[in-house]
Structure 1
Amino acid sequence: MASRSLRRSNPITLVLALMLVLGFMLFILTPDKSDPIPKTVTPARSRKPPAVQRYHMNTLKATASPISNQEKVIILTPLAKFYDEYWTNLLKLNYPRELVELGFIIPKGREGNLALSKLQDVVHKVQTGKKKDQFAKVTILRQDFDSPVPQNEKDRHALSAQKARRAAMSKARNSLLFSVLRPDIAWVLWLDADIIETPPTLIQDLASHDKAVIVPNCFQRYKEGGVSKIRPYDYNSWHDSNDALKMAGTMGKDDIILEGYREMATWRLLMTGEYKEHGSVHDETKLDGVGGTALLVKAEVHRDGAMFPPFPFYHLIETEGFAKMARRLGYQPYGLPNYLVYHYNE
């Protein structure tokens, strides 16, 4: 018994046991150097959080002096077909480029692909050119649906195509608007892709009236017997009539009133009929419906909820429905009967 007890307490045995325990602990606690932390990875404790952007929306204003107040404008265009004249005219607008953003939405399909290719070429040329000529930002979106009708003038203006065509246009406008309207934008200019001639001062001219919603008169140049003439084009800017209101009262909930068609005699007063050849371009008129060929809107109107209804809204749709929605929100649309912009003549 005595000899066994002495062997258990032998110093050599105790030292070996201690060395074994220490070796095991060292093995466990030593990190594996075969898989080191890459040098490009920043330890979490030293990683900085992303910067926080603050926008003081209460100080964001859209005024009658947009350039002197450095107010940002975004020009939005649903673009199903690319016209060189549209782009040439756009580049002639003399609002400071650093305050201008562009947004486009293009439909699916062969025509959309062609329009996209041409647009990308001209945008790339400008945005890689001189700094002073570059726009602050350019966004191009593609629709996830096709245009419901062909884009030639005859087919797209047929009465039977209007409800589907304008519903699709509303969806395109809303998709574009909700995707690109940033908190520091003061004005939204809706400019159709087939508007090929406007004054270079279009933005500041319209903004100078300090209206929440304002639209010029859209005409079209043409030749008759070799003589250059102009004629009305956009009939969507109008003053309502008792006849139209009575017509709406007899309609089903999904029916819409369309302006400019013999089949629907609304007897509304159209802004095209208020044009005076030598009248002042500053003349204003209150409107119940607006067209979207060149429509300037204070961004707050859209932020408050006014969009382009793709469904019958008080029997109105798209831009005319937008005007009704803006009025319901307390924003009165205005028109300029003698201030002309021109539509492409096919």
Structure 2
Amino acid sequence: MARPMGPVRLKKTSPLTLVLGGALCIFILYFLIGSSAPDFSASRKASAASHPLSPPTSPFRKSTSTSGKVKPPPVTRYNLNNVTITHNPLDNRENILILTPMARFYQAYWDNLLKLTYSHELITLGFILPKNKEGNTATTELQKQIAKTQQYGPEKDRFKSIIILRQDFDPPLPSQDEGERHKMQNQKIRRAAMAKARNSLLFTTLGPSTSWVLWLDADIIETPPTLIQDLAFHDKPLIAPNCFQRYYNTERKVMDERAYDFNNWQDSPTAQELASKMGYDDILLEGYADMATYRALMAYMYEEGADIHHEVPLDGVGGTALLVKADVHRDGAMFPPFAFYHLIETEGFAKMAKRLGWQAAGLPNYKVYHYNE
């Protein structure tokens, strides 16, 4: 026979246990009913591009305010009517975008950039490099110099922002040696690839605050420090200096210089006649004996001691150094990677700009210098 149980006595709970249990319950309730989206605002600032002239490199992550409401993504407004493009860009604090397709890194190119007297806080740099071994090497060297300048260099040398792109297509030529690059049979495929690279770089980096775009090849190693101010002073839609090359003259046994960029030219009846007989996809090339166009080349218009600000109109331009009003690109002028009126890349760009009402100009007595391989 079972014996009846006596009254049950509960052990008294300590106050500390109650406090800890209550805190645990509050934490569980907050975790369950609180926002499931953590606040990534700090990490977003660190990982996403904060510069308004370039697209974000990371997606916008929602953050929650103290009231529990999800904050909307940021909206930035621009009024292009407030963007000035004047002959005195420095005094008007106009933003400059310097764009450089780069296959090889030359230290003299970077050193020359640092010497530019235009306020670096108004300059954005953009680069595009091929996805091959040479491109990898150039990217590594470029990043070293960027870190040295942007992180450790004097404040005056630091640029507003720097954007590096890698091409999403293979280079058409296995080598970037000067002799290989300039073979006539390689020109169409090489320059079509260059046009694609320039367009990718332009369309990715051109921002609503940009006033001028300076195209500067990676092998331009010497320019006047006032290059941007000097070219903008002419207030032309497109303007190109004359590109030369320093070299050792073995006959005279002295350092000498020679014309380099033959893509700055004025058209000729001969060239127009040649074009009229060409196939739809054929292109005219300049500087080759097998295709004599008899155009007037700005490279040969240089006069020693003459006015460096002397202007000439141009029908074709090169890309070694070229200052362009941002509105020309905004109007749709780009670098055709196909035969455009039998012209391609930079020369096709000049033709396209002219069709849009923008006339190119050149400065035959204002020189910049190309690296001599």
Instruction: Tell me if the contact between 2:268 and 2:293 (Cα under 8 Å) persists in the aligned partners.
Output: yes
Show the counterpart of 2:164: 140
The whole-number CA distance in structure 2 between the counterparts of 1:146 and 1:51 is 36
Aligned equivalents of 1:132 and 1:37: distance in 2?
47
Amino acid at match of 1:228: M
Structure 2 CA distance for aligned equivalents of residues 233 and 244 of structure 1: 20
| Corresponding residue of 2:359 | 332
* Structure 1 position 344 matched with structure 2 position 367: no
Deviations 1:264-295 (A, max 9, x none): 01000000111001111000000000000000
Q: Which residue of 2 aligns with 1:202?
A: 227
Shift of 1:50: 3.2
Alignment of 1:56-71 (within 5 A): 56-71=79-94
Matched, 1:298 2:322: no
CA distance in 2, matches of 1:210, 1:217: 17
Q: CA deviation at 1:132?
A: 2.7
1:14-63 CA-to-partner distances (Å, cap 9, x unmatched) read xxxxxxxxxxxxxxxxxx84734269553686333233222110121211
- Native 8 Å contact 2:262 2:299 kept in 1: yes
Residue in 1 aligned with 2:309? 282
**Which residue, 185, 188, 206 being the options, matches 2:210?**
185
Check if 1:100 corresponds to 2:123. yes
In the alignment of these two chains, the number of paired residues is 316
Query: Following superposition of structure 1 onto structure 2, how do residues 87-236 of structure 1 map, counting pairs within 5 Å?
Result: 87-129=110-152, 130-149=154-173, 150-225=175-250, 226-236=253-263
Task: State the Cα distance separating 1:131 from its structure 2 match.
Answer: 2.9
- CA positional deviation for 1:144: 1.2
Deviation per CA, 1:67-91: give whole Å up to 9, x if none.
Answer: 0000000100000011111111111
- Give the distance between the partners of 2:157 and 2:314, measured in 1 at CA: 36
For residues 290 and 45 of structure 1, the distance between their equivalents in structure 2, rounded to whole angstroms, comes to 58
Cross-structure match for 2:32 = 35
Q: Give the Å deviation of 1:146.
A: 2.1
- What SS is found at the alignment partner of 2:202? helix
Aligned letter for 1:131?
E
Task: State the alpha-carbon separation in 2 of the partners of residues 162 and 307 from structure 1.
Answer: 19
- Deviation digits for residues 253-273 of structure 1 (CA, Å, limit 9, x no counterpart): 000000000010100000011
RMSD, aligned CA: 1.6
2:35–2:68 CA contact under 8 A, matched in 1: no
Deviates more, 1:113-122 or 1:217-226: 217-226
CA distance in 2, matches of 1:51, 1:170: 34
- The whole-number CA distance in structure 1 between the counterparts of 2:349 and 2:222 is 24
Amino acid at match of 1:103: G
In structure 1, the gaps of 5 or more residues are 1-31
**Is 1:80 aligned to 2:103, yes or no?**
yes
- SS of the equivalent of 2:349 reads helix
Q: How many angstroms apart in 1 are the aligned matches of 2:267 and 2:363?
A: 17
- The answer on whether the counterparts of 2:333 and 2:352 sit within 8 Å (CA) in structure 1 is yes
Aligned to 1:4: none
Q: Structure 2: which 5+ runs fail to align?
A: 1-27, 40-63
The 1-side partners of 2:93 and 2:320 are apart by 25
Give distance in 2, aligned partners of 1:261 and 1:45. 70
Could you tell me how far apart the structure 2 residues matched to 1:127 and 1:147 are?
30
- Cα deviation for residue 198 of structure 1 reads 0.3
CA distance in 2, matches of 1:330, 1:59: 22
TM-score normalized by the length of structure 1: 0.88
Matches within 5 A, 1:244-259: 244-259=271-286
Question: Share of identical aligned residues, percent?
Answer: 60
How far 1:147 moved relative to its partner? 1.7
Which residue is 2:6 aligned to?
A: none
Displacement of 1:99? 0.3
- The amino acid that maps onto 1:166 is R
